[in-house]
A and B are shown apart, each in its own frame.
Chain A
Amino acid sequence: MAEFEPVLLANIHKPDSHTLSVYRAAGGYAAIKKVLSTMSPVDTVELVKASNLRGRGGAGFPCGLKWSFLPKDAPTVYMCVNADESEPATFNNRILMELDPHQVLEGIMIGCYATRAQTAYIYVRCEYPTAYKRLHQAIQECYGAGLLGQNINGSGFNLDIYLHRGAAAYICGEETGLIESLEGKRAWPRIKPPFPAIEGAFRKPTVVNNIETLANVPHIVNRGADWFKSMGVPSTNPKDPGSYGPKLYCISGHVNTPCCVELPLGVTCRELIERHGGGVWKGRKGKMAIPGGMSMGLLTEKEFDTPLDFAGPGKVGCLGLGTAAVTVMDETVSIVDYLNNACRFFAHESCGQCTPCREGTSWSSRLMTRILSGKGRLKDLEILQSISQSIGIMPGTTICGLADGAAWPLKNALGKFRGELEEYIKKTNPGGYQQEEPAMALVELAHH
């Protein structure tokens, strides 16, 4: 393969890359001009459909298909842009928003044109003040340059973009949780149906897209669907739409050079670590890696050759590609620490709406606290196993996918590192690890 030329991150190393003039100098806003002058909304949807662009937010739903679900004759459609990037170790949206906000805005404009939305909301997470400032500045520049507002470029297309800051909750990244939060309510994900495409924000048809997904759209318009499909991994399974296009991979954890790189989909985890992350730090060996954010599960060192495309991680028992944020852990990391951290995160972030998720995540977190503190029993692992199998949208027991994200670290850790967990329990609780009876009240462990 020829040397890959980054497109999404092409501008970020330029000085003042976040300004309109720099973006324009690099050929920015040509795509929206082309779309407004030569393409109809239907053409745009078809183009994106033809490119097989899949959502970069985690679920990987085909973007063009999502756009085509909107009712054709709806008078009001809203576009919600999901910039609530809260998946641990994920920071590609932040880089896009901070260093190339106009690219994002252009994508939003094309998306709105294609879906006939005249209002877009960008839901930025609270912890991204710089991204918020830069986006705000970029929107002001666009209004000044006539790229936003009424009758853009004389095309009759109107668009207003509003920035909305979240209040630091992981659940607001779930699309209906985001909509609820945007409406000023508690971010409890909605029951589906109705799907947002039929009834979303303010009870109007709504399309929710990730920042990175939309950032891809101008390039598809400029370079065509075939260019997009020339990258990535074609699918052999007719049910799988394949993984095409460039993807921003975040590499963090125990590597020498944590970074965000743009690569065609399908690069292996090992290549990411060795070539782009500079290898595992301090000359140690890698033990495991999270393939795409905490909720996707775990790859063991042996599975590092898994290609990170939409289908790859699933083949080795992970939940999926997720946000493609790889977190590497070296050989000194204990699986108990990892699992405790994962369980605590999801227990903290569970919105508390569905009983299985609310109680399952909190129970697993408390069990992990107990195991970590040396009072674990082998029976606890059975309970963890049963929790991991009981919660999630896949078995249907919860409304949203947060519980699946909570279940997968448990499933993978128990499946791939069970021996280590058992060993830890036996070592730290030599007298009681075989205990089957309920532990007595355990008042001393009430710190949950």
Chain B
Amino acid sequence: MATITVDGKEIEIGDNERLNVIQAADRAGVSIPFYCWHPGLSVVASCRMCLVETGTKNKETGEISMVPKLVPACQTPAKDGTVVVTNSPKVKANQNFVQEGILLDHPVDCPICDQAGECWLQDYYFEFGHQERRADIHPFTSKRRELGPHVSLFADRCVMCSRCVRFTREVSGEGELMVIDRGSHAEIDVFPGFPIDNKMSGNVNDICPVGALCSTDFLYEQRVWFLEAQNSVCTKCSTGCATQMHVNQNQLYRIQPRFNPNANDWWMCDAGRYENQFVTAPERLDGVVIRRNNAWEPLDWPHAIREVYNHVADVALNHGGSHLAVVLSPFLSCEEAYLLASYAVSILSDVTLVVGKIPVVGHDEKFKSGFTIRAEKCPNRRGVEEIVKHFGKQPLDWDGMLAKIATGEIKGAYVTGGYGDPWIDDAEAAKFEHLESLVVQDILPSPLARRAKLVLPGVTAFEKDGSYVNHAGLIQSASWGLRPHGGAHVDGQTFSDLLGRRGIYNAADVLKELAAKVPFFARCTDGVPPAGLNLVTGQEKHPLTTELGTVTHPTPTFRSEGSRMLEVETPTR
């Protein structure tokens, strides 16, 4: 073990942890301010906010020899015997001067700045700045300009930390952003005609510590202190990025990545971040409808549950279980898939369980840092497959089911959807036309729903609790942030009602049950930590058990709670 002394307090870190002084001090409960350093980017040590005094302690004599200069904590490795002083007058004077320098050219337009409330400059100035403002020169001002479809630049607020530039060079790999001009005139910009429009561009808004880069999509929509954050998981592809949805008054304002070293590190793609209009689409299904006399009639939920049973159980009981197909969509959470599969086999044990249609678009896109947008555009294929394998006598995939429908072997189907994008075309849906009974549970109208006998509205991942297993076998839990749309019920509630269970559906309880019943999920007995559990390899990169903060929030409260985000190997230039 290596022993490090931070402000007189000794802490021990592992020999192979390769922490820098910011990370080591954080372990000791001391937060060192910084702008330019980011655990996922190279070290430039240019903001000079994290300067501290360091020295080495002689193990035998206990004598401490200090380095006369200030050194950047982000660049200094924490080694055995390192002594760090973060509260000396010299350190404070530098923090003071850096804050003052940054504010020289800063417009201090916090009342109209989107970043206010989560701005590092704001927070740090209160903690480390001068009380009075000595600078009385005219600040430089500039207008907002758009660097790309999702990125707006307010150059006058920039602190030149160059995080965004490094992001485009080291993570997304496109390198659209650059620094132009020199000295105090330096600005972030793009080359004319080459906007920042890569598929990860939204991340630069997150990593900007101040209000210089703002999300055009979120701009002036909401003050951040009104937003409530809920941990979620992105359902746009099978990478399953850990996210946070920011909600106020049942309205989704933005989605940000949440640090998870097992899935997405600090990043997420623009599709997951911005393409969630389906949640509030006006055409969302919002009540149960049943086809009677060739017309749709609304139905209340208690009757709907009975009707589902009538529709599906009749087929199974009349023709035999294998003639009923129950389709488990890859958009269902594991808990829901488990309940639905349990329900299916409770009718007759040989009911055909089908893994729903797996939407695949193009190829996997791998970025420079290794972050991948996967071609498989659904969150839970792995989880649903495991459940279908466990419960189904003859598990089928979507195409296998279509074949059996064509041969007339399958006479009734209960299809669950939940796809945010159109997922079935008219020709494919027409194959279901001659079925005796067709129950569709989905969030948006589709050619299939038009042909159904009974349509049940479901909800999106933003509206329900549940766990999803990503491409690598990592299970992560998402919480609900929005109330179910219109008259829709949470899918899990519907399945729970179908099973005849009483009370409100509780995903956590169902997950425990699932863990006890299905060996693949055995590790989830005590729930799923924020960084997830890998059910395939059985080990995670960082077994995090505490609540994680987001990387964009540096306030001291966040640091003490979410300090684990810092403990990641820092790439050096």
Contact = CB atoms under 8 A, between A and B. Distances in A.
Interface of A: 169, 186, 188, 190-191, 347-356, 358-363, 366-367, 370, 383, 386, 390, 393-399, 438-439, 441-443, 445-446, 448
Nearest to B96: A390
11 contacts: A191-B75, A350-B183, A355-B102, A356-B94, A356-B101, A359-B101, A361-B183, A362-B105, A362-B184, A366-B137, A395-B90
A352 B69 contact: no
Given A356-B97, A359-B100, A396-B71, 15 more contacts: A169-B182, A188-B46, A190-B573, A191-B45, A351-B183, A352-B186, A358-B186, A359-B102, A395-B70, A395-B94, A397-B48, A397-B97, A441-B138, A445-B137, A445-B138
A356 B182 contact: no
A397 B94 CA distance: 7
B169 to A, nearest CB: 11
Interface stretch (B128-136, B437-445, B530-538): B128-136
A270 to B, nearest CB: 34
Contacts of A353: 44, 46, 160
Contacts of A169: 182
Nearest to A390: B97
Contacts of A445: 137-138
Interface string B25-68: 00000000000000000011111110100000000000000000
A390 B133 contact: no
A359 B104 CA distance: 7
Central interface residue in A349, A361, A362, A448, by most chain B CB within 10 Å: A362
Contacts of B160: 352-353, 355, 358
Contacts of A366: 137
Contact of A363 (B94, B101, B181, B182): B101
B137 A363 contact: yes
A363 B135 contact: yes
A88 B75 CA distance: 33
B306 to A, nearest CB: 69
A367 B133 CA distance: 15
Contacts of A448: 137-138
Contact of A352 (B100, B134, B184): B184
B134 A383 contact: yes
A352 B182 contact: yes
A276 B565 CA distance: 65
A358 B106 CA distance: 13
B72 interface: yes
B113 to A, nearest CB: 20
Nearest to A361: B183
Query: What 5 A-B pairs are tightest by C-beta distance, nearest first?
Result: A359-B101, A396-B69, A438-B136, A362-B184, A396-B70
A438 B139 CA distance: 13
A273 to B, nearest CB: 33
B224 interface: no
Interface in B100-122: 100-102, 104-105
Contacts of B46: 188, 353-355, 399
B101 A358 contact: yes
A351 B100 CA distance: 19
Contacts of B178: 186
A354 B184 contact: no
B48 A356 contact: yes
A60 to B, nearest CB: 19
Interface string B351-389: 000000000000000000000000000000000000000
B1 interface: no
B98 interface: yes
